[in-house]
Amino acid sequence: MTRDEALELVRSRVYGENLVKHMLATEAIMGALARRLGGDGQQWRMAGLLHALDVEETAALMEVHGLRTVEWLQEAGFTDEEVLQAIRAHNPDNGSALVSMMDRAMFACDCLSGLITAAALIRPEKKLELVSLKSLRKRFKEPAFAKGARREDIMTCSELGLDLDEFLAIGLEAMQGVSDDLGL
């Protein structure tokens, strides 16, 4: 499946524009992490782009979130098991384990994209380019800020060999690189 085909699938299955933007942001972060960690950029970006394909259908059934996406992708002829595993594993509620570096990256950056988006949206200009690492670090330490961005998940960046500041910087720079696509 090409990136264009994957994006077409996202647009045909996901109706919430904010969710599409989350998937694009996660794709960008995964690509940056692949470069930093020596992963296959195409695979890692594909996992990021497709990881939440089923969330509108499975939001009330988190024990199947990710699994339904994998079913849809397999039905569409997608066979990259490493990408499918990363999609499964990003949601531990479905019983999948984090096995590979890509799995761990997917798990950690899923919430990071939400934290960075929230940091941009609280600014009057609502622009990613104006979010600094210092302000992002400060917001990370505020438990009431972007409550859905689970800090404990983001902190698993240490399992990737990254400290928090480097992880935040990688994510912020990656999302700034696709800010037009994100409307930020």
* pLDDT value, residue 129: 97
* pLDDT value, residue 86: 98
Q: Is 39 left (phi over 0), alpha (psi -120 to 50) or beta?
A: beta
Domain total of the chain: 1
* pLDDT value, residue 125: 96
Q: Is 149:111 a contact under the CB 8 Å cutoff?
A: yes
What pLDDT digit, counting tens, does each position of 93-105 carry? 999 999 999 999 9
Average of per-residue pLDDT across 51-78 = 94
* pLDDT value, residue 179: 98
- The two tokens of residue 29 are 């972060």
Residues present in the chain in total: 184
Average of per-residue pLDDT across 13-34 = 97
Average of per-residue pLDDT across 142-154 = 95
Mean of all residue pLDDT scores within the chain: 97
Q: Could you give the percent of the chain with pLDDT greater than 70?
A: 100
What pLDDT digit, counting tens, does each position of 155-168 carry? 999 999 999 999 99
* pLDDT value, residue 53: 96
* pLDDT value, residue 134: 98
Domain that holds residue 62: 3-182
* pLDDT value, residue 51: 97
The string over 74-90, giving b where at least 16 C-beta atoms fall within 10 Å of a residue's C-beta and e elsewhere, is eeeebebebbbbbbbbb
- The two tokens of residue 36 are 């930093």
What SS3 state is found at 61?
coil
What CATH code is carried by the domain that includes residue 139? 1.10.3210
* pLDDT value, residue 148: 92
